[in-house]
Amino acid sequence: MQQLEQVTLGHYQILKRLARGGMSEIYLARDTANDQVVAVKLVNTGAGDYYERFRAEVKTQAAFDHEHILPVLDYGEFDSWCYMITPYIEDGTLSERLQQGCLSLAEAEQVLAQLSQALHYAHEKGIVHRDIKPSNVLMRDGTHVYLSDFGLVKRVGEDNGLTLTGYLIGTPEYMAPELAECEASPCSDVYALGILMYEMLSGRVPFKANTPIAVYMRHIRDLPDPPSVYNPSIPPEVEAVIFQALEKDPERRFQSAQEFYLAYVQAVKLAEERRLDAATMPTQVNHFGLEKPRVTIVRQKHRMLRGRFLFTLLVVPLLLVTVPAVLHASLGPQWFKLSLGGATSAPPQHVISTNAVNTNQNPLLKPTPTPTHTARHIPTPTHTQLTPAQGPVQVISNNNANHGNSNGDHGGPPVKAKGHGNGGAKGHNKG
C-alpha cells in the first residue's frame, strides 16, 4: 500500500501512519473542518475480499451506539480509497499497556466490566466479534475502554460469503477450539475474553507455538497452565473463573460475557474475604523459625479442643466409677463415712472367755483366750453415760460363770466392765 502522508481525503488531512493490519492501514489525520485530530482507517477499493469485508465492518460499527464500542464519526469513499473516521485514542491499546506488565485484579476487573458490556450489547444484536485481542482494545486515559476493529464480525446464523471453505478466521492465540468445526457464537467470544483475562493477569497467553496452526491445535488438545504459575498473586477463586471461561466444551463455559464478569467479581470478593480472615488469625513460628500456615494453626486448636471434650466425655465418667470401687475394696465400707467426717461405730467385737486362772495373783501367767460362742453385741446399761466417741468395749469374764445378758436399755453404747469374782459381770440393769 502506498504512503499517504500529506494526502487529503475530503477535509481530512493525513499526517502519519499509526498502524498497519492485514487488510487495512490506520493513519493520524486532522479534520480541517473543526481542527480535530482523528484516526482514519483505509482500505483500497481494489483489495477484493478485503474491501468487501471493510465495508461490512463500517456498516456494522456505524450502527452501534455504545459507550464502550469505538464510535464511527464519518465514513465514505474518496478516489480509490474507502475510509472510516473514528476518535483518536492517544493513550494506545491494551497491548501497549501489557508491555509494562500484567494488570492487578482491580485493573483487570475494570477492563473486563467494560468489555463485557460492549460484547453483551453486540451479542444482543446478533453480532459476534471473532477477533477479541489486546490490540483491538483501546484505552482512553488508561481507564476508559473501547472495543474496536469489527472487521471479522459475523451475524449469527448468516453466511455473508466472505469466509472461504477450509480457512479459519481470527487470531490463533485467542480462537475457541470449536471454531475448527462450528460457526462462531457468543460463547466463542467468551472464550477469547477468557484468554484476554488470562493474559492481563499473568502477562502471557496460555498457548504458544512456532506456527499459527500449531498454536490453534494446542487450544484443541491441551489444557492451559494455571495463570498463578506466572503470577502467584492470582487467587484460586479467580483462577477457577478463568478456567471455566476456557472450557473446551462451549456448553460448560459462561453463556454470556456478563455472566463471566459477575462470576469474576464474586471470585475477587471471596478471595478478599479469605485474605482478611487469614490476616486476623494468630501467627506461630515452628522450630525451624518459619511461620506456620494460619489454617494449620486453626486446625491444631480444633484438634486440641476436640481432645479435651473427648477426655471429659470418656475418661472422667470412667474415673467416677473405678475410683470408688478401688477405695471400697481397699478400705472397706466405712471409708465413705470417714471421708465425710461422720462418727461411726466400730465393728462388733467378740466376747472372749479365758481360763479360771486369776491373772491378778500371778501376773506372769497370761490368759489364753478361747472362743466360747459366736459374736454378739453387749447390751448397754441405762445408767452409764458415755459419749459416742468412747466407742464399743469388751466385757471379759475370768471365770466359767455364765455370761449374763441384759434385757435393759440399749440406748447407750456398750461399756467395758471386768469382774474378778465368781458372780460374773456386775452392774447390769435389769430394767
CA distance 77 to 345: 128
Decide if 75 contacts 40 (C-beta within 8 A): no
Decide if 265 contacts 203 (C-beta within 8 A): no
CA distance 174 to 152: 13
User: What element of type H or E holds 241?
Assistant: helix 236-245
Burial (CB count within 10 angstroms: exposed 0-12, middle 13-18, buried 19+), residue 234: buried
Decide if 25 contacts 98 (C-beta within 8 A): no
The catalytic site residues sit at: 131
CA distance 431 to 343: 28
Secondary structure (3-state) at 213: helix
Beta partners for 76? 83
For residue 378 the three cell numbers come to 453387749
Helix axes 236-245, 257-280, angle to 10 degrees: 170
Q: CA 55 → CA 78, 80, 85, 162, 292, distances in Å?
A: 14, 14, 13, 12, 63
Secondary structure (3-state) at 360: coil
CA distance 302 to 292: 16
